[in-house]
Amino acid sequence: MHAARRLVLEWATRLEFSALERTKLVTAASELGRNTLVHGKGGSMTMSELMRESRVGLQLVFEDSGPGIADIEQALTDGYSSGKSLGLGLGGARRLVNEFEIASTPGEGTRVTVRQWKRR
Ligand SMILES: Nc1ncnc2c1ncn2[C@@H]1O[C@H](COP(=O)(O)OP(=O)(O)O)[C@@H](O)[C@H]1O
Ligand SMILES: [Mg+2]
C-alpha cells in the first residue's frame, strides 16, 4: 500500500497538482487501496494521466475479484464499517475526489474509479 501512496504522490507532484489536491488524492488512494487488500483480498491499482478540454487530471482504478459489495449505498454511509478501521472509509474517499464511480457485483468483485482534476 505504501508503494501505491508513493506512486500517486510522485505523479501528482510531477503534474504540479496543488498540495491540497495532492493530499486529497493520496488519502483517497490510501483508503481505496486498503479496501482492495483487506476486503477485496488483493487486486490492482491502475493510474492514468488524463487530459480533458485542456485540463490535466489523474485517474485511479482499484479492481479486485473479492466478495463484492451487496449494498453499495450502505457501504458509502459514514461510519459504516464491517471492520474496525478509523480511516475515512469509502464515503470519505468519495468526498475527497472530483469524480467517484463504484461498480461492484457480489461474488465477482469491485471496481472503484476516482479522478482528480488540476485547477487551472
Ligand atoms: N473492495 C471491496 N470489496 C468488498 N467489500 C468492500 C470493498 N470496499 C469496501 N467494502 C465494504 O464496504 C464497507 C465500508 O468500507 P469502508 O468505509 O472503507 O470501511 P472499513 O474498510 O473500515 O470497513 C466495508 O466494511 C466492506 O464491507
Ligand atoms: Mg476501508
pLDDT attached to residue 84: 57
**Domains in the chain, ordered, with CATH?**
2-117 (3.30.565.10)
Residue 40: pLDDT over 90: yes
pLDDT digits (tens, 9 = 90+) for 6-27: 999 999 999 999 999 999 999 9
Average pLDDT over residues 55-84: 90
pLDDT digits (tens, 9 = 90+) for 53-68: 999 999 999 999 999 9
Among all bound ligands, the one having the nearest atom to the CA of 89 is: 1
CA distance 103 to 99: 14
Q: Which residues line ligand 1 (CB under 6 A)?
A: 31, 35-36, 39-40, 64, 66-69, 75, 80-83, 85, 87, 89-91, 110
The ligand 1 atom at the shortest distance from the C-alpha of residue 92 is: 17
pLDDT attached to residue 1: 57
Q: Which amino acid is at 94?
A: R
CA distance 117 to 98: 7
Helices 19-38, 89-96: inter-axial angle, 10-degree rounding? 150
Residue 109: pLDDT over 90: yes
Q: How far is the CA of 83 from the centre of ligand 1 (A)?
A: 8
